């Protein structure tokens, strides 16, 4: 069983510590691994991902139809198990960003990030005044249901704990990569290889030179400006190459793929015995 990272420890008197610890750990020399969730928002999945050793959970909240209560319960379970959650937003919309943060999500990932203006708008939604326009609601999962005694201190720490994630997946995003990467308060940058490969004209070919080369250029820009770069690797060999090149985090396999692969492997093994 993989050992959990000691950095990610919640505190009963500081509900913002989980997000701030994730941000601090991103700037160490470790590589963070995220388990993806696309359909089953169950506390049992949180436990399984924790036992597997994932460093954070990534909720695919763009292509799926999650309901509010089940998502909030799942995030709360992750927090209770000291696992930070990064969630993608379906669109750049103030109320949706706020609801995810109030549920206790520490990171917001913006799909189809294509400009600095996109990121500045997201940051405005994620930060409290005067740095942004986030509304205060310190009474939900974001404070572990313990209203803070010192509102000013909590707002400052909450702003420090929110993790801003750019998500480049188009040719336009690639063209504007440096202005996106140099956006003040950006914490992480993820390149989504599937849609990026579509935009480059080679659908699904993560390792095609005309897909991988621009991704590597984005990685170099991230390293130059001190922004942790992440992606999803096509396989173990590709992951090793990305790590060697300086990739700092991966959004990895989802639960549907794990179930499908495990079920197929079990059935194939039994079928093999039947043929013997």
Cα–Cα distance for residue pair 243/84, rounded to 1 Å: 22
Confidence of residue 2 (pLDDT cuts 50, 70, 90): very low
Contact 122, 164 (CB under 8 A): yes
Contact yes or no for 3/165 (Cβ under 8 A)? no
Whether the bond between 130 and the residue before it is cis, its omega within 30 degrees of 0, is: yes
198: Cα separation from own chain's centroid: 21
Q: In which band, very low, low, confident or very high, does the pLDDT at 12 lie, cut at 50, 70 and 90?
A: low
Q: Which of 28-32, 157-161, 255-259 has the lowest mean pLDDT?
A: 28-32
- Which of 20-24, 94-98, 136-140: highest mean pLDDT? 94-98
What pTM was estimated for this model as a whole? Answer: 0.90
Question: How would you classify residue 270: left for phi > 0, otherwise alpha for psi between -120 and 50, otherwise beta?
Answer: alpha
What are the chain's domains?
Answer: 17-275 (3.20.20.60)
When the pLDDT of each residue in the chain is averaged and rounded to a whole number, the result is 92
pLDDT higher than 80, residue 275? no
pLDDT confidence of residue 276: 65
- DSSP class of 56: E
Q: With beta carbons less than 8 A apart as the criterion, state whether 161 and 155 touch.
A: no
């Amino acid at each position: 069983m993989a050992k959990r990272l000691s950095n990610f420890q919640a505190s009963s008197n500081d509900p913002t510590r989980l997000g701030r610890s994730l941000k601090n750990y991103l700037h160490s020399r470790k590589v963070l691994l995220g388990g993806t969730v696309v359909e089953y928002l169950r506390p049992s999945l949180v436990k399984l991902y924790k036992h597997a050793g994932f460093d954070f959970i990534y909720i695919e909240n763009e292509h799926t139809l999650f309901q509010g209560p089940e998502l909030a319960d799942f995030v709360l379970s992750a927090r209770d198990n000291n696992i930070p959650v990064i969630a993608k937003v379906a669109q750049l919309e103030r109320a949706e960003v706020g609801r995810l943060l109030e549920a206790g999500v520490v990171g917001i990932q913006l799909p189809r990030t294509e400009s600095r203006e996109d990121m500045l708008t997201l940051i405005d939604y994620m930060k409290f005044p005067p740095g942004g326009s986030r509304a205060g609601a310190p009474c939900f999962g974001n404070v572990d249901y313990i209203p803070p005694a010192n509102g000013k201190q909590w707002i400052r720490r909450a702003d420090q704990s929110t993790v801003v994630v750019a998500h480049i997946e188009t040719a336009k995003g690639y063209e504007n990569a440096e202005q996106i990467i140099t956006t003040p308060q950006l914490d992480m940058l993820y390149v989504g290889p599937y849609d990026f490969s579509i935009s480059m004209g080679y659908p699904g070919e993560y390792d095609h030179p005309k897909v991988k080369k621009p991704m590597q250029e984005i990685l170099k820009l991230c390293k130059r400006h001190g922004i942790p770069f992440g992606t999803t690797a096509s396989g173990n060999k590709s992951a090793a190459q990305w790590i060697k090149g300086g990739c700092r985090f991966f959004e990895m396999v989802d639960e549907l793929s794990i179930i499908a692969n495990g079920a197929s492997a079990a059935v194939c093994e039994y079928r093999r015995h039947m043929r013997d």
